[in-house]
Each structure stands twice: as C-alpha cells, then as structure tokens.
C-alpha cells in the first residue's frame, strides 16, 4: 500500500473574513517540492475573492483523471510494442446537481489524441482496447462515482 500527501496552505492576511470577503487563493505543496497556486473556481467564488490564474479543485480533479488514464495508456501501449510519440488530452468535467440535489462533478470526458510512430502501428480497434484497458486500470477513475467517458480522437495519428 502507498500513501500520498499534499499540504494545503492558506492565510487570511488581514482580510475581512466573516463577511466572506477574503481571498480563496492558497497553495498546494507536494513531496517533491512543487508549490502550486490554487484557488476556488471563479465559477464558484466571484473575482476578486478567487484567483483565475490559479488551479482550482475541479480542474485538478479533471487533470488527475486524465493524467492517470494517460499514464496507464502509455504503459499498456509500451507493453504491446507500440511507440507513442505524443499524447494530448483536452479533458472536460461538468459540475451540476446530482440525484440528491447536491453539486457534484457529474461527468468527465477525456478526449485523447495519440500519435504513434515506428513500424508497428495499432489498428483503430487496438487503440480502443488500450483506452478501455487504461480506464479499467486507472485507480483514480476506480475511486470516484463520477462518470468518466473516453472519446479518443480518430485513429490513426502517425508521426
């Protein structure tokens, strides 16, 4: 079993608080020393109390699902002898009301565009199978109740 840590760091810095007029800007710190500016989404907390240039939890959620899927896809493709030159996913998450009326990330759609090179090129069906297997292996996707769709770009994309 592995354990993962993140430190979330926020300070009021003298701003008003009980009237909700304080900055939601904060930082995420990870074990490798990376410090990421973070904030509530401007869709949730209006400017200037949110920070549009920072990463918000909803974006991070979508990125985590996309990244996990990609890492499994790359591993599975390599094991099958396919050389991936590029992988780009323009993933989108949708927040709305769930069946209980609560705000939730209802679904995430991954839209990976994969470019292969080398003498062994996968067929369209083989690429679809790789995406299906990557989704099944992604422990982030296996950990959430959000629907995760994968709509790969048309194949082939050869370098």
> 143: closest CA among 69, 59, 88, 39?
69
- Could you tell me if 74 and 90 lie in one domain? yes
Same-domain status, 145 and 69: yes
How many domains in the chain?
Answer: 2
Say whether both 18 and 87 belong to one domain: no
Tens place of pLDDT for every residue, the chain, 159 residues?
899 999 999 999 999 999 999 999 999 999 999 999 999 999 999 999 999 999 999 999 999 999 999 999 999 999 999 999 999 999 999 999 999 999 999 999 999 999 999 999 999 999 999 999 999 999 999 999 998 999 998 876 555
On whether residue 157 sits in a domain, the answer given is no
pTM of the model: 0.92
Q: Are residues 100 and 132 in the same domain?
A: yes
Q: Are residues 83 and 138 in the same domain?
A: yes
Same domain membership, residue 73 and residue 135: yes
Whether 156 is in a domain gets the answer no
What residues make up the domain containing 1? 1-55
Q: Three-state SS for 129?
A: helix
Q: Please check whether residue 158 lies inside any domain of the structure.
A: no
Burial of 55 (0-12, 13-18, 19+ CB in 10 A): middle
Residues 10 and 45 in one domain: yes
């Amino acid at each position: 079993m592995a354990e993962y840590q993140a430190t979330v760091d926020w300070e009021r810095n003298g701003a008003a608080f009980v009237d909700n007029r304080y900055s939601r800007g904060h930082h995420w710190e990870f074990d490798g020393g990376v410090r990421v500016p973070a904030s509530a989404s401007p869709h949730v907390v209006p400017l200037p109390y949110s920070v549009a240039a920072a990463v918000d939890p909803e974006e991070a959620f979508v990125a985590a699902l996309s990244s996990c899927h990609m890492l499994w896809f790359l591993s599975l493709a390599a094991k099958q002898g396919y050389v991936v030159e590029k992988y780009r996913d323009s993933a989108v998450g949708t927040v709305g009301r769930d069946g209980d009326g609560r705000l939730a990330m209802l679904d995430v759609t991954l839209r990976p565009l994969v470019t292969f090179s080398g003498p062994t090129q996968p067929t369209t069906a083989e690429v679809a199978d790789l995406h299906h297997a990557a989704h099944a292996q992604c422990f982030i996707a296996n950990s959430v109740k959000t629907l995760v769709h994968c709509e790969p770009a048309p194949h082939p994309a050869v370098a």
